[in-house]
Amino acid sequence: MRIATYNVNSITARLPRLLAWLESSGTDVLCIQETKCTAEQFPAEALREAGYESAVNATGRWNGVALLSRVGLADVVTGLPGGPEYDGVQEPRAISATCGPLRLWSVYVPNGREVEHEHYAYKLRWLEALRKAVAADAAGSLPFAVLGDFNVAPTDEDVWDPALFEGATHVTPAERAALAALEAEGLSEVHPRPLKYDRAYTFWDYRELRFPKNKGMRIDLTFGNAPFTAAVKDSYVDREERKGKGASDHAPVVVDLDL
């Protein structure tokens, strides 16, 4: 069974590429982030024609998450239970469902903007709410994973030049401690193998030729419980999908399971 996580940076802009990638990759379940559309605008019919059911949490121009599955979609929970609000609303940043033999969450963690910004404090509150929300699924007997764009680089090895990130978000001790607290709920990170370079980055800014120079970050992550990680046979970043015209600034992260 093949699952993946992918920040598409607008599903409407990326739809032709996404449909082609789903077919060529043979992905069974896809966790999507940054749909940048309303639920009504989500291309559920086009995806249904490609063989995928959809569960969507999306409200407008920014954010938005989804789950696509061709192995079943049940017990959908839309939103982050107990999640904090920002500017008076709970943003569409989480969705979970049972997909065949798996329980999966697709999450899009707040960016944080700057360490002194309220959005950074909101990010830490959001990660703490995520830790509490996934605890029951993590402790269950069903293979379970939370995947998505965490907007946190777990170690200095996960950014192309750590010196450039000093004092910035994505690498602070508090953010990394939040990931460690998530793992303490009985989850382990699934590390993708690099396919070309020695570091498996998942995001490259569009500016300054960052992608061809491989000046990236690894912020799209997978955390699974013991039944999930025991089934993992391979994981990699599909760097090819970041190439060419109309690509997202993220690449899909693929996880192959023997279930």
Catalytic residue ranges:
108, 149, 250
Say whether 116 counts as a known binding-site residue. Answer: no
Angle between helices 118-139 and 173-183 (to 10 degrees): 10
Say whether 137 counts as a known binding-site residue. Answer: no
Say whether 63 counts as a known binding-site residue. Answer: no
Other Cβ atoms less than 10 A from the Cβ of 182: the count is 24
Say whether 170 counts as a known binding-site residue. Answer: no
DSSP assignment of 8-72 equals -S-HHHHHHHHHHHHHHHT-SEEEEE---SBTTTS-HHHHHHTT-EEEEE-BSSS--EEEEESS-
- Residue pair 47/14 in contact (Cβ under 8 Å)? The answer is no
Say whether 151 counts as a known binding-site residue. Answer: yes
Say whether 7 counts as a known binding-site residue. Answer: yes
Binding-site residues from annotation? 7, 34, 149, 151, 249-250
Binding-site residues from annotation for Mg(2+)? 7, 34, 149, 151, 249-250
